[in-house]
Amino acid sequence: MDTPDELRLVSTLLALPGIAHGFSTRLDVHGHRHAFLEAVGVAGFDLALPRQVHGAAVVTVHGPREADCPADAVATTERLLSLGVVTADCVPILLADAEAPAIAAVHAGWRGTVARVVLRAVEALVALGARPERLRAAIGPHIGPECYEVGGEVLAAFRAVWPEAGLWFGADGRHLDLAAVNRDELLAAGLAPAHIELVGPCSRCDARMASYRREGTSRARNLAVIALTP
């Protein structure tokens, strides 16, 4: 039986009263997912998962069925409702303002990052009463820049939004640092540098994590969840 520490990774920034969260290791079967949710402390909560499409839509929900739509981020002020996104190299980002209270879960691949999905998520949280200076963000396990070689199409897409995008592509101009882009977006949205944390290993390098680049068509995924507790 896996221990809680083997099932999940956590952010010190989100270890706050009234907030439960976690980033899973690879989930191959339903039973493993249930064990992960138990380790996080939200096994009895409803789970709202959007139908991820690599875009920038954010859906604000009051129950799990409202998340059943094409979106790549989900936000709420409801307690006892878990928000989640699944990844297999893309970047999961969990956001929380414990005072509002308001939370969000974000899925950011390269397309969603170009579409500025994390900025849209911050905007949705502000609309729910959050304040950027109070927000805390945990950027979870994803493919690291050393393993994430991309082509000219990706560089062109980033340069179309950020003319200086080459700064995120390393010395050879081919290895994209998705976490750095999203961190810069969070800073631009008003988050304090000390309120942004990088959690976990490179998904391609660490066999504990699901990785599309390493495994090809594997159906295993990683799950990131956050919830407001009573």
Backbone angles phi, psi at 78, to 5 degrees: -80, 140
Is 60 exceeded by the pLDDT of residue 1? Answer: no
The pLDDT, as a whole number, for residue 219 is: 80
Where residue 152 falls (left for φ over 0; alpha for ψ -120 to 50; beta otherwise) is alpha
**pLDDT beyond 80 at 76:** yes
Q: What is the DSSP letter of 2?
A: -
- The pLDDT, as a whole number, for residue 4 is 62
For residue range 121-148, list pLDDT tens digits in order: 999 999 999 999 999 999 999 999 999 9
Domain with 10 in it: what CATH number?
3.60.140.10
Token pair 């062109």 is at which residue?
156
The predicted model scores a pTM of 0.97
Whole-angstrom CA distances from 24 to 33, 71, 205, 218 are 8, 21, 16, 16
The separation between CA 29 and the C-alpha centre of its own chain, rounded to angstroms, equals 21
pLDDT at 28: 84
Average pLDDT of the chain to the nearest whole number: 95
The one-character DSSP state at 12 is S
> pLDDT-based confidence at 6, cuts 50/70/90?
confident
Q: Supply the pLDDT for residue 122.
A: 98
For the segment 102-119, the average pLDDT, to the nearest whole number, is: 98
Give the CA dihedral 194, 172, 214, 107, nearest 10 degrees: 40
Lowest mean pLDDT among 152-156, 163-167, 218-222: 218-222
Residue-level pLDDT at 45: 98
Burial of 92 (0-12, 13-18, 19+ CB in 10 A): buried
Q: How many domains does the chain have?
A: 1
In what helix (H) or strand (E) does residue 139 lie, and over which residues does it extend?
Answer: strand 136-139
Confidence check: pLDDT of 217 > 90: no
Domain span at residue 67 reads: 4-228
Q: Residue 38: in which H helix or E strand, if any?
A: helix 30-40
